[in-house]
A and B are shown apart, each in its own frame.
Chain A
Amino acid sequence: MAKVVGEIIIDIERCKACELCIQACPEQTLALGKSLNHKGYQYVVKVNDNCTGCVNCAIICPDAVITVYRKVLKTKQVETT
């Protein structure tokens, strides 16, 4: 079964920490960060690598600050005896 790996880029200066993406992410990959952006918002950060690139976060994000990539990995059938 091909493994899907996702990656997101967050424009942290434009994130308003509204948390909607956190709620929408099926993999609990997102959470409010510790540091603040120039507006004083605790911008969202990735807290695990389970992102599958499902785009939920980008769809619900009101400010369109998330760019999403997705790569389908063809795992190599490696014979390991």
Chain B
Amino acid sequence: MAVDNVDVLVEDVVKPENLVYRRPSTLLDVELHYCPGCGHSTVHKIFMEVVEEMGIQNDIIGVAPVGCAVFAYNYMDVDMQQAAHGRACAVATGIKRMLPDKFVFTYQGDGDLAAIGGNETLHAANRGENFLVIFINNAVYGMTSGQMAPTTIEGMVTTTSPYGRDPKTMGWPLKFGELIAPLPGVAYVTRQAVNTVQNVRRTKKALQRALEYQKMGLGFCLVEIVSNCPSNWKMTPIESNNYVQNVLIPYYPLGDIKVPEVKK
């Protein structure tokens, strides 16, 4: 008994009822300026998916950093404030203290969060400020074209560590999540990545969990996302994602670093 191989017309498949994925409505319908393959865009996309799915587009305020994602507010269709370099956690503190029942998040790069903004991030964490910090760790200063960042790993070449990062004169790579995890005010610290389909799925879940913890008022949540920087690493997008997998992730292992016990 043979089963006919029914050849299916495209029109039959492309129907609203068959839709399984579309761009989130909370991501503004504009071209993202990020370089081809850049993890920033991926994180923007999945975070806006979470905002859409949780139905909180009208109840969330974001703080954009200085860095490649300085234009996040051109893409995220939510109320946002643009903070001075490094000061996003202070700005977010000001917002959250004034609007405690709104969701608040910052979106920061490694330089913004761990170099110039280290003190603001540390103290917001220590105060247990109840907001989400999305921390994109791509080990370089992207926007200013590739300088060494606090998370640049040993031996990694950047425009300000042209012979590779030498800890003796440039310090060691900073694991900010691990640094603040022991603080009582910190509820959730996790490190994710968006270099593979599976990692993107996991990162999306982590972002959703962080917002749920915020809703429960559990305190400071940090979702660190190891990401790529094709242009400044001088790699193709695929090579850069492989670099994330084979070089960065071994130094910055993925997974939950601190999780609040939540009685289910």
Contacts and interface: CB of A to CB of B under 8 A. Distances in A.
A55 interface: yes
A29 interface: no
A30 interface: no
B8 A5 contact: yes
B14 A7 contact: yes
A60 B42 contact: yes
A34 B88 CA distance: 44
B13 A78 contact: no
B175 interface: no
B63 to A, nearest CB: 22
B200 A59 contact: yes
B160 interface: no
Interface stretch (B18-26, B130-138, B177-185, B211-219): B18-26
Contacts of B24: 64
A70 B21 CA distance: 9
Contacts of B6: 73, 75-76
B1 A20 contact: no
Interface stretch (B33-41, B91-99, B108-116, B249-257): B33-41
Interface residues of B, number: 40
Given A62-B38, A62-B41, A77-B3, A67 B23 contact: yes
Contact of B20 (A18, A55, A65): A55
B14 A24 contact: no
A23 B237 CA distance: 11
Contacts of A65: 23
B238 interface: yes
A6 to B, nearest CB: 7
Nearest to B39: A62
A64 B18 contact: no
A79 B39 contact: no
A67 B22 contact: yes
Given A20-B238, A71-B8, A75-B6, A55 B37 contact: no
Contacts of A20: 37, 237-238, 241
Contact of A69 (B13, B31, B38): B13
Given A19-B236, A69-B20, A78 B14 contact: no
Interface in A34-80: 41, 53, 55-56, 58-71, 73, 75-80
Nearest to B32: A63
A11 B203 CA distance: 25
A67 B14 CA distance: 10
Contacts of B262: none
Interface of A: 5-7, 9, 14, 16-20, 23-24, 41, 53, 55-56, 58-71, 73, 75-80
Interface of B: 1-4, 6, 8, 10, 12-15, 18-24, 27, 31-32, 34-42, 45, 196-197, 200-201, 230, 236-238, 241
